[in-house]
Amino acid sequence: MTQHTRVTMADVAAAAGVSVMSVSYAYGRPDRVSEETRGKVFAAAERLGYTGPHRGAQSLRSGRTNNLAVVLTEKLTYAFDDPQARRFLSGVADACLDTDTGLVLLPNRSVDADADRVRDAAVDGYVFWTTVTGDPLLDVAVSTGRPVCVQGGPQHPGTTLISIDDVAAAEAIARVALTGARRPLVSAFPSDKHRERRLEYGPDPEGVEFPVTRNRLRGYRAAVIAAGLDWADVPVAFGTGSFRAEGVRAMQDHGRALRADAVLAMSDEVALGALEVVHEDGLVVPGDIAIVGWDDTEDAAGAGLTTVAQSLYEQGRSAARAVLGGDAVATPQWRVVRRTSTR
């Protein structure tokens, strides 16, 4: 019942009465072979139960592996827990399916083992989920000579960047949130790979390692200044990641005491966490406090959250296509979705 001796091209060639090369062409370059030969080849293949060229052998000879690496967060689990990372991954995965490409998941802990994995991975290219500026793994990936695409940043020599204009989007959403507000609180993504919770007043964005965090802070700062407030007075709570619990903590630990009247959250998850605390406290949104998120998730829509919409799924597709097919990447679109959580 089980076919244990592998049928090779040579077998098919013999059965079809043609050369091995004709079989190879019949599969790999159907147009370089006559209709008749092709017919004979496929008939013989069918008869022998040959299911097509062996991927491994194909790749050894051609140099292509038909695999794409996605380099995610420190722990793969973090990426699976973040709805936006998941959407991005879905986009990458679908693009891979379209092109019959395997998807290899790699963690990014900046340890030697991960660098080795990146270097030795049997893949045709790399897609990075957003990481810190100067991440050594980027250099490792680039040094393999294979194409590299980075979502969200950083911009890195030898790589293609795919990202919306975070600064502009952050400024736009913050302007909405700050309408009528005097005491904003920023509930931010991590500043660097240590991912420690930390409160800082008016931090200099340029000192922040994650470009996504950095650029959004730049935009928030611009909006704060435009609103006539002093950036140095604005508390920024850096969290450990894009989790609901971070919004909860930011509000519990700081928002309450500071009587914040606007929360600038870097994701809908974080915003939803803040919203929970606001509801517990019996405050009215947006009367007492305005809240904005980022991502336009389903839950955000359900909660009436004003947010920034961008398609991470599409960015995932584009990133994969850029790496796999060398397609150019267009700067992705974004827009502010106004709902009931802002004035």
Neighbouring-strand partners of residue 148: 126
Asked if residue 27 binds DNA (CB under 7 A), the reply is: yes
Q: Is the dihedral of CA 336, 337, 341, 343 positive or negative?
A: positive
Distance CA 131, CA 203 (A): 20
Asked if residue 252 binds its own copies (CB under 8 A), the reply is: no
Asked if residue 48 binds its own copies (CB under 8 A), the reply is: no
At position 42, the amino acid (one-letter code) is F
Asked if residue 55 binds its own copies (CB under 8 A), the reply is: yes
Residue whose CB is less far from DNA, 112 or 120: 120
Q: Which position among 22, 24, 65, 307 is part of the footprint of its own copies (CB under 8 A)? A: 65
At position 261, the amino acid (one-letter code) is D
Asked if residue 304 binds its own copies (CB under 8 A), the reply is: no
Distance CA 150, CA 129 (A): 6
Asked if residue 97 binds its own copies (CB under 8 A), the reply is: yes
Q: Which position among 14, 42, 58, 195 is part of the footprint of DNA (CB under 7 A)? A: 58
Q: Is the dihedral of CA 244, 245, 249, 252 positive or negative?
A: positive
Asked if residue 24 binds DNA (CB under 7 A), the reply is: yes
Of 183, 185, 179, 186, whose CA–CA distance to 286 is shortest? 179
Residue whose CB is less far from DNA, 17 or 287: 17
Asked if residue 37 binds DNA (CB under 7 A), the reply is: yes
Asked if residue 111 binds DNA (CB under 7 A), the reply is: no
Asked if residue 30 binds DNA (CB under 7 A), the reply is: no
Minimal distance in Å, beta carbon 5 to DNA?
A: 8
Q: Is the dihedral of CA 163, 207, 196, 336 positive or negative?
A: negative
Minimal distance in Å, beta carbon 57 to DNA?
A: 3
Distance CA 105, CA 18 (A): 41
Asked if residue 81 binds its own copies (CB under 8 A), the reply is: yes
Asked if residue 1 binds its own copies (CB under 8 A), the reply is: yes
Residue whose CB is less far from DNA, 8 or 110: 8
Distance CA 295, CA 225 (A): 24
Residue whose CB is less far from its own copies, 55 or 193: 55
What is the C-alpha radius of gyration for the chain, rounded to an integer number of angstroms? 25
Distance CA 72, CA 89 (A): 9
Are 18 and 37 contacting, i.e. CB atoms less than 8 angstroms apart? Answer: yes
Of 132, 152, 110, 136, whose CA–CA distance to 208 is shortest? 132
Q: Which does 8 bind (CB under 5 to 8 A by kind): DNA, its own copies, none?
A: DNA
Provide the CB-side half-sphere exposure for 326 (13 A, CA). Answer: 1
Strands 290-292, 198-201: pairing is unpaired
Q: Which does 300 bind (CB under 5 to 8 A by kind): its own copies, DNA, none?
A: none
What is the contact surface with DNA in residues (CB under 7 A)? 6, 8-10, 18-22, 24-25, 27-28, 31-34, 36-37, 52-54, 57-58, 60-62
What is the contact surface with its own copies in residues (CB under 8 A)? 1-4, 51-52, 55-57, 59-60, 65-67, 76-77, 80-81, 86-87, 89-90, 93-94, 97, 100, 102-105, 107, 116-117, 119-122, 142-143, 145
